[in-house]
Structure 1
């Protein structure tokens, strides 16, 4: 269970980083209200993604980390963009692409690195 909580918190940190970097790059400021308004659609979608994978007990199958990551990534990107659009913030295709690339690199990237590190540790132990 600690693995799942750690993975969720790392995912949440990357979603927050995406929002902060975006707000800084667009000179929107880092006020708590502004960050919260930009963050909520993606945070809600991230939680939804995690709720979808929980029945598969991701904490019991570390090898499924990357597979579960794809599900979380797709739901976070698509759901966050849809919620943002529904809230009237808009989600142009260029924004969607940047969102997909950044969150793909981070949400899937750390999982890939964790799997490689686990394989190397197992290989070294043999």
Structure 2
């Protein structure tokens, strides 16, 4: 007699087709765009020229670290969560990006590290915190 498959909770992605994939993709697009804005802003501030190649040259270590963090924390499970998803994405993107940048011969002065920590913290955490606050305010009081 064949064994039946174990019972599993309903998969929320099946109840709303397309939603489970579009939400993480929207977060990834926003996060990558903000990392690119960080790189472009730094290049503009230091008068290095804001070209596509230049921005990518500055951003790639942080994009690699962000991709690694996304996989490590399985960000697709709760892409908009400030904790732990947002914090892990932020810390790993900053630390990993700085390490990769240093290994590639880029500058990692203490002032750059501090600015990177603050700006990427704001870019990767604030949207998640704001969304969390807005969602909590929309919930009806029981």
TM-score above 0.5 = yes
Match of 2:103 in 1: 86
Higher helix share: 1
Counterpart check, 1:111 vs 2:132: no
- Residue 30 of structure 1 aligns to a residue whose secondary structure is coil
Shift of 1:55: 7.2
Shift of 1:32: 2.2
CA distance, structure 2, for counterparts of residue 54 and residue 4 of structure 1:
10
Counterpart check, 1:66 vs 2:82: yes
Alignment TM-score, normalising by the size of structure 1 = 0.89
Match of 2:29 in 1: 9
Moved runs in structure 1, 4+ residues, more than 4 A? none
Matched pairs, number = 121
CA distance, structure 2, for counterparts of residue 102 and residue 81 of structure 1:
14
Match of 2:15 in 1: none
Counterpart check, 1:22 vs 2:42: yes
Counterpart check, 1:99 vs 2:116: yes
CA distance, structure 1, for counterparts of residue 25 and residue 76 of structure 2:
14
Asked whether the equivalents of residues 82 and 129 of structure 2 are also in contact (C-alpha less than 8 Å), the reply is yes
Relative CO higher for 1 or 2, CA cutoff 8 Å, sep ≥ 6? 1
Match of 2:10 in 1: none
CA distance, structure 1, for counterparts of residue 112 and residue 140 of structure 2:
41
Shift of 1:123: 3.1
Structure 1's unaligned 5+ residue stretches are none
Shift of 1:38: 0.6
